[in-house]
């Protein structure tokens, strides 16, 4: 037992009574043992102290001091090389026996690259390919190593009429072809060149821009036509062109027979940021047109475009409704509608001639839009209509896209249908 530590009995005595001694202020109590040195800790059994574990055979006196290089002088803070970044350790895949198989995350898909916009003339050629192929194929069959004579001209004239170019245009083309060429061979390329030139002559007087008289705001465009000719789609595309040009447009959902037509026009209104005036299905179309005109005046629109229900030209009650729309508009503006556009489906062929005749008499049609040229082998009907009625052809369409309705150009159309190239 270490000196200065009281015996166990005394410690027990202190544990039980020391607090009382302190609290009673006993100044004679001896606490000097608290300052005594603690005894060394006992070593664990079977283990000698460190000093005793030195190998006696190891003579430290003969052992040279280890050659320890001094630490390098610390470089200035700015000259210290950056510490190397440890390489990422690849993540080990779990053992297949553990029931797992890691599949690395697929790389993000690249942003889709928008397809380049196809030039209008190319789209027109592609749209008129069926009409052109049929016509030029027949020309090639007729003028293959064959001298020009009356029989050849008659065969060629029949081909032109079958292509819906019309009798008047067919006669002009054959007359032009016969000038100074009788008795000699003529190539298919020469025939196609003459064909393109004569078609351009027939179409050039009607290839006009649609003029808007903004001195009489709003300029009212009434769009009419039989079922399925693309009236509502044409209206949406016209609105897109006008709003791109900085004009304000109001649309009237005058096809009150079809809910789909109303919804379609509302979608076009959202796309072009144009107000759409609409009512419930079955509402009076003439009354709606009247309200739409007033609304266009209120919101200071430049153009009001009115859709109408598709109607067959032989349905007298529907044609009478169209006349009513015109009369009601003229109560608000004597010159309204300023433009009456008739949409024609190229696939209807000769029936389109009858439509122009009747709608011109009933609604005062003063302009044409030819649609669906891309789905027809009868695009030549436009030439016959132009030759007979002399009505302006403002736009032609070769697809459903917003850019597939373009101003009509006689040279481009003639070259596309005749299979020739155009010159600037």
Structure confidence at residue 22 as a pLDDT band (50, 70, 90): very low
pTM over 0.85: no
Residue 35 has pLDDT above 50, yes or no: yes
Say if residue 234 carries a ligand binding annotation: no
Distance CA 328, CA 339 (A): 15
Lowest mean pLDDT among 183-197, 307-321, 377-391: 307-321
The topology under which CATH files domain 219-412 is Rossmann fold (3.40.50)
Which pLDDT does position 341 carry in this prediction? Answer: 98
Which sequence spans correspond to the domains of the chain? 120-206, 219-412
Which has the closest alpha carbon to 339: 355, 326, 324, 356? 326
Higher-scoring residue by pLDDT: 342, 358: 342
Which pLDDT does position 129 carry in this prediction? Answer: 82
Say if residue 420 carries a ligand binding annotation: no
Which pLDDT does position 378 carry in this prediction? Answer: 78
Say if residue 232 carries a ligand binding annotation: yes
Structure confidence at residue 8 as a pLDDT band (50, 70, 90): very low
Say if residue 229 carries a ligand binding annotation: yes
Say if residue 422 carries a ligand binding annotation: no
Say if residue 361 carries a ligand binding annotation: no
Structure confidence at residue 50 as a pLDDT band (50, 70, 90): very low
Helix axes 316-332, 285-298, angle to 10 degrees: 30
Say if residue 421 carries a ligand binding annotation: no
Say if residue 269 carries a ligand binding annotation: no
Which pLDDT does position 284 carry in this prediction? Answer: 94
Residue 26 has pLDDT above 60, yes or no: no
Which pLDDT does position 106 carry in this prediction? Answer: 66
Express each pLDDT in 357-383 by its tens digit. 989 988 899 999 999 887 666 788 999
For strands 219-224 and 303-306, give the pairing. parallel
Which has the closest alpha carbon to 352: 380, 374, 316, 375? 380
The topology under which CATH files domain 120-206 is 1.20.120
User: How many beta carbons lie within 10 A of that of residue 162, not counting itself?
Assistant: 14
Lowest mean pLDDT among 9-23, 225-239, 273-287: 9-23
Say if residue 95 carries a ligand binding annotation: no
DSSP letter assigned to residue 221: E
Which pLDDT does position 88 carry in this prediction? Answer: 58
Say if residue 172 carries a ligand binding annotation: no
Helical (H) or strand (E) element with 343: strand 339-345
* Residues contacting 362, CB < 8 A, separation 6+: 319, 322, 323
Residue 15 has pLDDT above 70, yes or no: no
Phi, psi of 397 (to 5 degrees): -120, 140
For residue 223 the two structure tokens come to 């769009």
Question: Is residue 236 within 8 Å of residue 265, measured between CB atoms?
Answer: yes
For the chain, what is the mean pLDDT?
80
Say if residue 308 carries a ligand binding annotation: yes
Distance CA 4, CA 223 (A): 122
Question: Is residue 329 within 8 Å of residue 336, measured between CB atoms?
Answer: yes
Say if residue 226 carries a ligand binding annotation: yes
Q: What is the mean pLDDT of residues 19-37?
A: 50
Which pLDDT does position 394 carry in this prediction? Answer: 97
Residue 207 has pLDDT above 90, yes or no: yes
Say if residue 373 carries a ligand binding annotation: yes
Which pLDDT does position 355 carry in this prediction? Answer: 92
Say if residue 256 carries a ligand binding annotation: no
Distance CA 419, CA 196 (A): 8
Residue 211 has pLDDT above 90, yes or no: yes
Task: Give the residue carrying structure tokens 């004239």.
Answer: 157
For residue 252 the two structure tokens come to 């009237």
Say if residue 307 carries a ligand binding annotation: yes
Lowest mean pLDDT among 8-22, 35-49, 107-121, 251-265: 8-22
Which pLDDT does position 404 carry in this prediction? Answer: 82
Sign of CA pseudo-dihedral 222, 401, 407, 125: negative
Which pLDDT does position 379 carry in this prediction? Answer: 84
Q: What is the mean pLDDT of residues 262-289?
A: 95
Phi, psi of 173 (to 5 degrees): -70, -45
Express each pLDDT in 171-206 by its tens digit. 999 999 988 888 788 888 999 999 999 999 999 999
């Amino acid at each position: 037992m270490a000196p200065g530590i009281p015996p166990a009995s005394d410690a027990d005595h202190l544990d039980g009574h020391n607090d009382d001694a302190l609290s009673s202020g006993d100044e004679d109590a001896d606490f000097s043992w608290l300052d005594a040195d603690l005894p060394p800790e006992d070593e664990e059994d079977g283990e000698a102290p460190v000093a005793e574990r030195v190998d006696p055979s190891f003579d430290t006196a003969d052992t040279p001091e280890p050659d320890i290089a001094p630490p390098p002088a610390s470089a200035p803070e700015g000259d210290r090389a950056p510490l190397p970044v440890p390489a990422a350790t690849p993540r080990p895949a779990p053992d297949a026996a553990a029931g797992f198989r890691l599949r690395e995350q697929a790389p993000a898909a690249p942003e889709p690259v928008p397809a380049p916009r196809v030039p209008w003339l190319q789209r027109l050629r592609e749209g008129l390919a069926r009409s052109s192929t049929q016509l030029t194929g027949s020309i090639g069959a007729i003028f293959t190593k064959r001298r020009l004579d009356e029989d050849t001209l008659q065969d060629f004239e029949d081909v032109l009429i079958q292509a819906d170019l019309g009798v008047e245009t067919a006669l002009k083309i054959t007359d032009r072809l016969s000038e100074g060429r009788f008795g000699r061979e003529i190539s298919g390329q020469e025939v196609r060149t003459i064909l393109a030139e004569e078609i351009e002559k027939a179409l050039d007087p009607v290839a006009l821009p649609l003029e808007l008289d903004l001195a009489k705001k709003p300029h009212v465009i009434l769009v009419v036509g039989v079922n399925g000719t693309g009236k509502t789609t044409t209206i949406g595309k016209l609105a897109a062109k006008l709003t791109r040009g900085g004009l304000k447009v109001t649309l009237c959902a005058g096809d009150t027979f079809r809910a789909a037509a109303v919804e379609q026009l509302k979608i076009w209104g959202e796309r072009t940021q144009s107000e759409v005036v609409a009512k419930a299905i079955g509402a009076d179309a003439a009354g709606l047109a009247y309200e739409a005109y007033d609304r266009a005046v209120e919101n200071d629109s430049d153009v009001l475009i009115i859709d109408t229900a598709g109607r067959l030209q032989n349905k007298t009650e529907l044609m009478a409704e169209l006349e009513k729309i015109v009369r009601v508009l003229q109560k608000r503006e004597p010159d309204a509608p300023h433009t009456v556009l008739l949409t024609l489906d190229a696939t209807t062929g000769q029936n389109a001639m009858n439509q122009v005749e009747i709608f011109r008499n009933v609604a005062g049609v003063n302009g044409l839009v030819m649609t669906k040229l891309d789905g027809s082998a009868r695009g030549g009907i436009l030439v016959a209509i132009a030759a007979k009625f002399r009505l302006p052809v403002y736009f032609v369409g070769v697809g459903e896209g917003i850019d597939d309705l373009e101003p009509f150009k006689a040279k481009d159309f003639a070259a596309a249908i005749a299979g020739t190239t155009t010159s600037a």
